[in-house]
Amino acid sequence: MSVMSELVLREATASDAGAIAGILRAQAIFVHIDAEAPEETKVRLEERIRASVPSHDLILVALVDGSIVGYGAVRWMQNLILRGIDGYLSELFLHPDAVGKQIGTRLLNAFRDAAKTRNAERLWCINLRDRDSYKRAFYRKSGWDERDIAVFMERQPPSR
Ligand SMILES: CC(C)(COP(=O)(O)OP(=O)(O)OC[C@H]1O[C@@H](n2cnc3c(N)ncnc32)[C@H](O)[C@@H]1OP(=O)(O)O)[C@@H](O)C(=O)NCCC(=O)NCCS
């Protein structure tokens, strides 16, 4: 499918929080988001976007005809072993109506460009194997290698 000419990518601002919250809710895979009121999600995302630091975070939104249809976020991380920094793609989500139109590829390419500007050595993401993006090999088809490594996680007790 051809790339739509009206696609715009730009950095997210706090005023995008409601649209991003809507995209996350539309995934219908995040139990805590589905359980809370839309306003609650929006306020939380506003706070998180405001708390992002330009030297460490890049949050991009994708707009078609002026409406946000997707977003992605990368955190730039120090790694003293490497010659450059790492970029961790923590999220990349499109509204279900916007998938399959190369918008995800365009967002990924924008993060690649940003990685180049920052002399990053690698981009990473964790892709759960039960997700459509994994099943349809989005990252592999985009040229990313699947690493045979263990990912460890410890859930932290809630602070309040
Ligand atoms: C995964 C995602 C970001 C890909 O963006 P996209 O714009 O839909 O993908 P593109 O149109 O650029 O297509 C590139 C590849 O993505 C994959 N893809 C296409 N449609 C897809 C869909 N509905 N769901 C998942 N992957 C899809 C295919 O591998 C496709 O390659 P192909 O055209 O050779 O089959 C997007 O589909 C999405 O947000 N899906 C739901 C949320 C998700 O799974 N996010 C990833 C969390 S890590």
Closest CA to 19 of 125, 126, 93: 93
- Residue in 99, 112, 124 to alter for ligand 1 test, most ligand atoms within 8 A of Cβ: 99
Rounded CA separation 35/55 (Å): 33
Sequence-distant contacts of 151-157: CB under 8 A, at least 24 apart = 151/126
The residue whose C-alpha atom lies closest to atom 2 belonging to ligand 1 is 104
pLDDT tens, per residue, the chain with 160 residues: 445 569 999 999 999 999 999 999 999 999 999 999 999 999 999 999 999 999 999 999 999 999 999 999 999 999 999 999 999 999 999 999 999 999 999 999 999 999 999 999 999 999 999 999 999 999 999 999 999 999 999 999 988 6
pTM over 0.85: yes
Q: Are 23 and 58 in contact (CB under 8 A)?
A: no
Rg (CA), the chain: 16
| Ligand 1 centroid – CA 152 distance (Å) | 26
DSSP 83: S
Ligand 1 surroundings by CB, under 6 angstroms: 27, 92-94, 99-105, 125, 127, 131-133, 136-138, 141
Rounded CA separation 146/149 (Å): 9
Q: Which amino acid, 144?
A: W
